[in-house]
Structure formats: structure tokens, C-alpha cells
Amino acid sequence: MKKLLALILALCMILALAACGQQAASPAPAATEAPAAAPAGNDSAPTPVDSAPAPAASGLTDADITKDLTIIVPSGAGGATDIAIRAFVEFFKDHWPTNVNVINIGGAGGSAAYNELKNYDNDGYTITVAMASYPMNLAIGTFGGEYTWDTWEPICGLFSGYFSLCVRSDSPINTFEEFVNEVKTNPNFKYGLYSNSPATGIRLVLEDYTGVNFNAIDVAEDAKATELLAGRVDAVADFFSQQNIYVKSGDFRCLGIFVGDRLAEFPDIPTMKEQGVDYDITTQIMGLIAPQGTPQEMVDYICQKVQETYEQEEGLKPKYDELYYESLFMNSADYTEFVQGLIDNYDKFING
């Protein structure tokens, strides 16, 4: 009997020691949690291509997305903004868990699209594009005080484009200097543009530089090139994404491009900056915005998916290069600050 009791006590001691050993070793997995110490929500940190996408800081996952996403483009189909957005969506849709739809509502410097957005729930499933002209239109009063930058929940910056100034190839104007002399001496010189578009901001810059109020001719959004080709206007400034094909074909002569450095493909075309036109309001950035009141977790989730697209899709940058856009990504905070800076600069430039 004593031997049996001794054996039972020995077994109990062995089991107790094993349990203690497991408890003592249990803190070890804490070492695997170290990556959580990295700053949460740091959108500038690259996401490894070969790793699974991390959930948004808000906690939303793909399984939480229950509806299609609709992006309203505030311009007509085939325009500069529309082409760039659709190029982005071709890659973005592979990262978004449901369908992504793009619809066009042009007119009134974007107001038509922004008004339409009021008819949708502010749940983040219907968003729009902040046009490159948005800061300028705020400064000149296009929106009549109805919209401000605070009207929206900025999601992220997407890309920027650059403008070019062109005349017909048979024009007697061969350089930007000759363009300046022409607008100063010829009151009948016709400068074509689509009102309340980014081209209006470029016109204001050129008028300030030359000291001349242009004889501005309003043309349809999709007719800027055809109006110049037909000789109904003498010069047009537009996104180079729209004008490059006519420069390549020999129909247009480009007098300068609003870009930091000369384009490798067009080394003979000078930048406007090197010709003395150096203004801090010529940056043409576009991004995504949602209605005010959109849940922050949805804003963060969309921003995360856009970031994944830019970091994991090797074909997006070459596509933008092909279209003469600059591929970029700005998180919500950086995009908000950047656009607010443009708004302030435009306000100072226009209103003093």
C-alpha cells in the first residue's frame, strides 16, 4: 500500500512540474507580436508585394465590403481626367473586393458631379474625383460658396498631370517669347480654353506673366484640339496627355510644358519654368474624395486599397508614363495638406 501511495505521489509531482514548465514557457510567443509596435496607419510605409494585405487601421476587411464602389468623374468621357481615372481603375479593381464602376458627370467645373453626389448615401460606396481645377474654382468663386475643401472627406492623392501651350505648326509663332509679343501687340489673338477647367488657371498665370487680358474663346471640353486645328483659335493650353499626339503628328508646335524637367521623349521642348514662368499654382493634382460624414474606417480602407494598387502593380506607373501623367500616392493627411496649400496659394494669387 505504501508503495502504491509513493507511486501516485511521484506521478502527481511529474504532472505538476510539466504544467509549470508550460506556464513558464508561455510568454515566448510575445516575441512574434513585435511588428505591432510599428506606427499604425503609416501610409507611407511600403507594403511588401509578397505579403498578404494588412487590414485597414479601422478594422475593415474585404469581407466587410458588401456593395459595389462607384467613382464619379466630374468631366466628360474621353477627357484627360476620365482617361487617367479609367487607367487607374484597370489596376485598382484587382484589389477591390467588389465591382468598381466609373460614371461621367461633366459640367460647371465639377459642380454637376458634386451636386449629384448629394443624392447618394455617405457610406463611402460612392465617391468622386477632386479635379485639378478644384483649388482654382474655389478661389474664383465658381462654386458660389456651396463647396469648400471641408465639404469632403479627402481620401488620397492619385496622380498629377502637366499642361502644355501649343499653336498650330503653321503658325508664325515659333517660341514662347514670340507668343508673349503676339498677345501684347495683337488684340485679336484668340486664346482657346474650356472655362472653369485647369486651363483657366493656366490662362490666369499667363495673363499675369504677360500683363495682358487675353481674348479668351470658350470652347467645348472635347473640342480644344479640333478648334485649334481648324484655326478658330490661335493657341490652346491643355494637358500634354491630350496634346502630345498632335505634337508627334506635326500638327501642333509646343511652346513649353509646365513640368519640372524637360521630357526625355521631347528634349527640344523647353519647360515653362526655364522660360521664366515659375508659379506655385500650376501643379495639377487629382485625387479621391468622399462626402462629409463618410465613416473614417471606410476612408481608411479605400486609401489602403489605393496604396496597395500603387505599390503592387508594376504596370500602373508605365501606364501613367505612357499617358504623360505623374504616378503618385498621397495618404489622406498629406493630400489634405497639399490641396489646402494650393487653395491658399490660389486665393493669394487671385484675391491678393
Q: Which amino acid is at 77?
A: A
The pLDDT profile of the chain, 352 residues, written as one tens digit per residue, is 433 334 433 444 433 434 434 333 333 333 333 333 332 332 333 333 333 334 345 579 999 999 999 999 998 888 888 999 999 999 999 999 999 999 999 877 678 888 888 888 999 999 999 988 888 888 888 777 788 888 899 999 999 999 999 999 999 999 999 999 999 999 999 999 887 778 888 999 999 999 999 999 988 877 889 999 999 999 999 999 999 999 999 999 999 999 999 999 999 999 999 999 999 888 889 999 999 999 999 999 999 999 999 998 788 888 999 999 988 899 999 999 999 999 999 988 888 7
pLDDT tens, position by position, 246-291: 999 999 999 999 999 999 999 999 999 999 999 988 888 999 999 9
For 62-161+283-351, CATH gives 3.40.190.150
The answer to whether 287 touches 157, Cβ cutoff 8 Å, is: yes
Among 191, 169, 331, 156, CA closest to 246:
169
What's the distance, CA 219 to chain centroid?
A: 25
The Cβ of residue 36 has, within 10 Å, a number of other Cβ atoms equal to 7
Measured CA to CA in angstroms, residue 1 lies from 5, 6, 12, 14, 22 at distances of 6, 9, 17, 20, 32
| Residue ranges of the chain assigned to CATH 3.40.190.150 | 62-161+283-351
| Residue ranges of the chain assigned to CATH 3.40.190.10 | 163-275
Give the pLDDT of residue 57: 56
Give me the CATH topology for the region 163-275: D-Maltodextrin-Binding Protein; domain 2 (3.40.190)
The answer to whether 255 touches 167, Cβ cutoff 8 Å, is: yes
Q: Give Cβ neighbours of residue 50 (< 8 Å, ≥ 6 apart).
A: none
For residue 216, list its beta bridge partners. 191
Phi-psi label, residue 157: left if phi above 0, alpha if psi -120 to 50, beta otherwise = beta
How much is the pTM? 0.79
What are the strands, taking DSSP E only, across 270-352? 284-291, 325-330
